[in-house]
Structure 1
Amino acid sequence: MSGRRYLCGAWPAGLVAPLLLAGCASAPLEQASTLQSYDRLAEANGLVTRSRLRVDEAAIREAKTVQIVPTAFGAGTLRIPLNAAQRRLVANAVDRALCAGLSERFQVVGPGQPADLTIRALVTHVTPTDTLAVGASRGAAIAKMVLLPGVPVPVPRIPIGMGTLSLEAEALDLKGDQKAAMIWARGAHMIGSGRMAVEGDAYALASEFGYDFSRLLVTGRSPFGQLPALPSAHQISTSLGGAAASRACEAFGRNPGLAGFMGGQLGLPPGWTDKGAVAR
């Protein structure tokens, strides 16, 4: 899973075809002026992810409990053509991935309870997915299955209208001091054929951000520039719809699991298989 988090332009030449190098959507590294501080944020990129971050490793390692403030969309995203339900689905995908990842080491507590760290994330930019382009990609994949059945040649996604997602997030201690922060941006790429929904790529990328920021806090180090690691038993369980280690994560609902995976393979809108957050 972590092996996919890399900057498009940094792919080693011997690993992928030049066509793939041009097949990544470019996501802006937005700064929305909502973080307590932007000082000492250092560039930390992966192969398809752009990021600037900082972390107080000593303070993070001392923390035992965390609280997640539900992710919001920034004022700069008001003109993006996502309706309220689609925005809630993307924001909740961020929170669900954050909670699952953080609960591997921290005790996640509910709203109003004291916590060593409070996590706040904000969506700063979204590029909607072009559903017609996704449909064309799906058609090409189906044509390949009909014309070349059994031939193990992947059909790359048409590199048009691919979505992007940018966020900024921070972790504050009990005094309100910033102990970790990250500005993050990533675009969809040609591997996979996407979902036929304007929020399709943003929804998928939301989970990737949640993974990256939770790893920053769990390890106290950048999640980028490391060798890919095998997923833990907890990661496998939550990805299949199992409960996270902290009961408070139930507020964000569970991963749609196999139904979500099949929906993604068929290109279905994420709302068809994801029930979203638990009603409060």
Structure 2
Amino acid sequence: MTRSISSRLALPVALAVSLAACQTAPVADAGFLSSYEGLETKAGTLRVSVRERRDEAMAAAVDRLFVQPARLIPGAAEGVAPEDVALVLGEVDRQVCYELSERFTVLGVPAADAATVRVAVTRITPTEPVGSGLSAVAGAFIPGPIGVRPPGSTGMLAAEAELVTTAGDQAAALAWARSANVVGMDNPSLSRVGDALQFAEVFGDQVGDSFAPAERPVRPVAEPDPCARFGPRDQPGGFLTRLVTGLYVPETQGVRPQDAE
């Protein structure tokens, strides 16, 4: 009887532990946004922390915009090598450009009649390569897409962004964070910033959703592609590498460091 009760309790306890491990806590405001007033937590999110605000009238009036290169908040990447930081900033630039170009007209240079998007990376927690390697090896013997990574081996990315009108008003704002899960579908990586690089795409998706008016549809990519400087949008080599090795490999994903200014 005791064993039966213990067995029935084991599953709920395990699920509760797994659920807690999947949660991403909000990161403290970095002071980058021109205003944090009105930011609201997005409903239905668990693995990612999303706080956002959008003035529908202001956002609807914006079509043309220029995206400033992402910057790093001082102290946001302790223990991360400068060359790895450059990779993360470059990937954030790329993914934000990709997503916004499907909702707005993205310009290559600032213009007086164009809005401005400002972006900052507010935290990079490095990935532990050895633990990720062990996870990839273990994943080869575990059926299904769910993987297990050693505690303390997972990374994180946090960032803030805002859409500023030509009049200098904040039309939309976003404070965002995502931590890799110990149990889940996040791909391990031998790169110290493997998790942060992967989460740049998730951040870019959210920037597009948070800044574009609710009724604005996704549009075809313009010709010439305003994000062409980042290389091809499709990277089939990255998918094949993950399929074969179980690892996220930045070199196969088209990741490039941010250009030095």
**TM-score of the pair, normalised by structure 1:** 0.75
Question: How far apart, CA to CA, are the structure 1 residues paired with 2:252 and 2:19?
Answer: 32
What is the correspondence of 1:10-89 to structure 2 with a 5 Å cutoff? 17-18=15-16, 20-24=18-22, 26-45=24-43, 46-79=45-78, 81-89=79-87
Contact 1:70–1:121 (CA<8 Å) still a contact in 2?
Answer: yes
Residue in structure 1 matched with residue 137 of structure 2 by the alignment = 139
Residue in structure 1 matched with residue 241 of structure 2 by the alignment = 263
Matched, 1:179 2:177: no
Equivalent residue letter for 2:86 = R
| Residues paired across the two proteins, number | 241
Counterpart selection for 1:120 from 118, 132, 145: 118
Matched, 1:276 2:256: yes
Which segment is superposed worse, 128-137 or 270-279? Answer: 270-279
Residue in structure 1 matched with residue 231 of structure 2 by the alignment = 253
Equivalent residue letter for 1:87 = V
Contact 2:53–2:210 (CA<8 Å) still a contact in 1?
Answer: no
Matched, 1:201 2:195: yes
Alpha carbons of structure 1 residues 133 and 27: separation in structure 2 relative to 1, 3 Å: farther
Q: Deviations over 1:142-169 (max 9, x none)?
A: 234xxxxxxx534522252211111111
1:68, distance to aligned residue in structure 2 (A): 0.5
Unaligned runs of 5+ in 2: 1-10
Which entry has the higher C-alpha Rg, 1 or 2? 2
User: How large is the RMSD of aligned CA atoms in angstroms?
Assistant: 2.9
Q: Deviations over 1:212-247 (max 9, x none)?
A: 0111122348xxxxxxxxxx795xxxxxxxx76663
1:20, distance to aligned residue in structure 2 (A): 3.5
Counterpart selection for 2:144 from 136, 139, 153: 153
Alpha carbons of structure 1 residues 158 and 105: separation in structure 2 relative to 1, 3 Å: closer
Any idea what SS the aligned residue of 2:89 has?
Answer: helix
What is the correspondence of 1:155-170 to structure 2 with a 5 Å cutoff? 155-160=146-151, 161-170=153-162
Question: How far apart, CA to CA, are the structure 2 residues paired with 1:94 and 1:257?
Answer: 16
Contact 1:103–1:245 (CA<8 Å) still a contact in 2?
Answer: no
**TM-score of the pair, normalised by structure 2:** 0.80
1:25, distance to aligned residue in structure 2 (A): 6.4
Any idea what SS the aligned residue of 1:276 has?
Answer: coil
Unaligned runs of 5+ in 1: 1-12, 145-151, 222-231, 235-242
1:22, distance to aligned residue in structure 2 (A): 4.1
Equivalent residue letter for 1:141 = G
Question: How far apart, CA to CA, are the structure 2 residues paired with 1:245 and 1:124?
Answer: 33
Question: How far apart, CA to CA, are the structure 1 residues paired with 2:222 and 2:87?
Answer: 19
